[in-house]
Amino acid sequence: MTLYSGSLADRMRQMSWASERDVAEQLGRRHTPYGAAVLYKATAEPDAILAYLERRGEGWTVVVDLRDSRESSA
């Protein structure tokens, strides 16, 4: 599964990701007061998905264990 996260570099390995790029970009803009946010892309195996959380009016967040995933800047 391809996932996206908009965050600061020191928070790249956080557990909360989005399955939709535009949702990750929107969430990443919230980090800009603290530094330059970057959009990250990761590929996670289905067994790494821990939960799907609905964010009111913002789409879905995917909670994932990325210890064995591949990730890069999008």
- pLDDT tens across 41-68, in order? 988 888 989 999 887 777 788 888 877 6
Q: Contact 58/27 with Cβ under 8 angstroms?
A: yes
Local confidence band at 4 (pLDDT 50, 70, 90 cut-offs): very high
Please state the pTM of the whole predicted model: 0.74
Q: What is the CA radius of gyration of the chain?
A: 11
**In sequence order, what are the residues at sequence separation of 6 or more whose Cβ sits closer than 8 angstroms to the Cβ of residue 23?**
4, 55, 58, 59, 60, 61
**In sequence order, what are the residues at sequence separation of 6 or more whose Cβ sits closer than 8 angstroms to the Cβ of residue 71?**
12, 40, 41, 42, 43
Joined tokens for residue 19: 């399955």
The Cα–Cα gap between 63 and 1 comes to: 12
**Does the pLDDT value for residue 11 go beyond 80?**
no
Local confidence band at 12 (pLDDT 50, 70, 90 cut-offs): low
